Amino acid sequence: MSKSNHPIEQEELMAYLDGELATNRAVAAAAHLEHCAECQELAADLRKLSQEMMACEVEAVESSSEIPDEIVAALEKWKKEPKKQASIRRRWSMLFTPRKLVFAGGSAVVLVLILSFFSFSALRPVPMARFSREGAKLEGYYRSHGSMPKAVAPPPSPNAYADLDGSLNGNMAPGIVGQHVTRGREAESISEGDEINTSIREVPTAPMIARVAGITLTTKEFDRTRASLEEILKRHSGYLGDLKVNAPAESGRTLTATLRIPAPQLESALSEMKKLGRVEDESQGGEEVTQQYVDLEARLANGIHTEQRLTEILRTRTGKLQDVLKVELEIDRVRGEIEQMQAEKKELSKRVAFATLNTTVKEEYFAKLQGTPPSTGSRFRNAAVDGYNTVVEGVIEVGLFLLSAGPSLLLWVAILFFPARWAWKKLRRKFAEPDLPSAS
């Protein structure tokens, strides 16, 4: 029996017989049942089943009117117990009535929303002077209380932002911020006790900055500088993102590397690197990713919540196979998004925890004196070889041209040959005929 043939489904008919159908559907069911033989048969079957089940009686309990001794004893004991506890509990239960709980829950949600709004406001970019003061205070607090909490990204060094302060006119703009540091400026190092933080807590309180710096050095001792570079990297618990060494024949070698250094140790690593050679260029910048991180966090939480709800639906609801498959597909999609967001979050945390230091080391090149020039015989021989090569190359080029353009040339010659010959003959005849005198 399908809905296309019957206005009510079989389940609805059963619910109608059980008195569990909504009034409007019950009216429709009653009307349909009056004239549908198939539904009447089903209703009769269902009623018969109920009757058969009810026919299975159990024997009566012995002495059903008497209360067993155990229960009487328990009642006596319960009666003797002071009712103070019960009255207190009742009072508590009166205090926490469902209505009051709903009201309290609603108030708590509103309060949390207001607090969240202020928290987000607090996360917005603040004037740099204020930020520097607060950053210094926070750092001082952490230093006085031992190491920084593991789950919190350490506040950036106030000095790093003090440099930025001048160029940005006291305000830190959201998005990419950066500036060129004048050569030779000393950067203050961060205390050595700072820990490397690879994980970021759920809601960051300090701005999260992904720091990027660049340095170009020129050195006379290339190999030694490279070894020192690796040593500095090791000392600061950093790692090598990318390395490329270029060694052209008549020029100095160049090393280009991307180093990933724990953000708090960037300044000290930079100052050590400056000692390796002559600094040609230096730059520092930072991208504030707090908003991006918070957004990602919120989207991730929503995704997880959606996945849980879908899984719950799949677990508890029954329905058609098609609906189940749809829910499973939706779960697959949501899971994919969650994994992508988790990867983004991890990458973002890594960018904040480890600063990127683009390093270029150039070797100072000293031109070497050439040896004796080649002999005349070898120069003649080289010239002959070059000439031969040129001839062979020319023949090959012509052959290649004919092979590639030949077919199309032949086609055009075949097309244009007869019109051209006709035109040529006509022209020749015209010029060959003598001027005849007029008939008059």
Q: Which residues pair with 216 in a beta bridge?
A: 281, 360
Query: For residues 101 and 416, which CB has a smaller minimum distance to another protein in the complex?
Result: 101
**Residue 12 C-beta: closest distance to another protein, Å:** 9
Pairing of β 278-288 and β 209-219:
antiparallel
**Residue 317 C-beta: closest distance to another protein, Å:** 6
- Amino acid in position 259: L
Query: For residues 22 and 405, which CB has a smaller minimum distance to another protein in the complex?
Result: 22
CA atoms lying within 13 Å on the CB side of residue 94: 6
**Residue 4 C-beta: closest distance to another protein, Å:** 19
As a whole number of angstroms, the distance between CA 371 and CA 306 comes to 76
Query: For residues 317 and 326, which CB has a smaller minimum distance to another protein in the complex?
Result: 317
**Residue 98 C-beta: closest distance to another protein, Å:** 6
Cα–Cα distances in Å, from 390 out to 382, 396, 397?
12, 10, 10
**What is the distance in angstroms between the CA of the first residue and the CA of the last residue of the chain?**
112
Query: For residues 86 and 416, which CB has a smaller minimum distance to another protein in the complex?
Result: 86
CA atoms lying within 13 Å on the CB side of residue 206: 24
Closest CA to 283 of 211, 338, 234: 211
**Residue 328 C-beta: closest distance to another protein, Å:** 18
As a whole number of angstroms, the distance between CA 209 and CA 348 comes to 10
Query: For residues 54 and 122, which CB has a smaller minimum distance to another protein in the complex?
Result: 54
Query: For residues 18 and 328, which CB has a smaller minimum distance to another protein in the complex?
Result: 18
- Spatial contact of 164 and 119, defined as CB atoms under 8 Å apart: no
Closest CA to 354 of 264, 283, 235, 286: 264
- Spatial contact of 261 and 270, defined as CB atoms under 8 Å apart: no
Burial of 243 (0-12, 13-18, 19+ CB in 10 A): middle
DSSP labels for 134-169?
HHHHHHHHHHHTSSPPTTSPPPPPHHHHHHHHHHTT
- Nearest 5 degrees, angle CA 321-CA 324-CA 329? 125
Torsion over CA of 211, 216, 221 and 223, rounded to 10 degrees?
Answer: 50
**Residue 302 C-beta: closest distance to another protein, Å:** 24
**Residue 7 C-beta: closest distance to another protein, Å:** 17
**Residue 63 C-beta: closest distance to another protein, Å:** 10
Tokens of 137: 């205070």
Look-up: residue for tokens 């079989």?
10
**Residue 338 C-beta: closest distance to another protein, Å:** 26
Query: For residues 78 and 365, which CB has a smaller minimum distance to another protein in the complex?
Result: 78
Query: For residues 83 and 143, which CB has a smaller minimum distance to another protein in the complex?
Result: 83
Contact footprint for another protein (CB under 8 A): 10-11, 14-15, 18-20, 45-46, 49-50, 52-62, 64-65, 67-68, 70-71, 74-75, 78-79, 83, 85-86, 89-90, 93, 98, 316-318
Residue 68 DSSP label: P
As a whole number of angstroms, the distance between CA 164 and CA 213 comes to 13
**Residue 61 C-beta: closest distance to another protein, Å:** 4
Query: For residues 152 and 324, which CB has a smaller minimum distance to another protein in the complex?
Result: 324
Query: For residues 64 and 182, which CB has a smaller minimum distance to another protein in the complex?
Result: 64
Contacts of 338 (CB under 8 A, 6+ apart): 300, 303, 304, 307
**Residue 131 C-beta: closest distance to another protein, Å:** 52
Query: For residues 18 and 223, which CB has a smaller minimum distance to another protein in the complex?
Result: 18
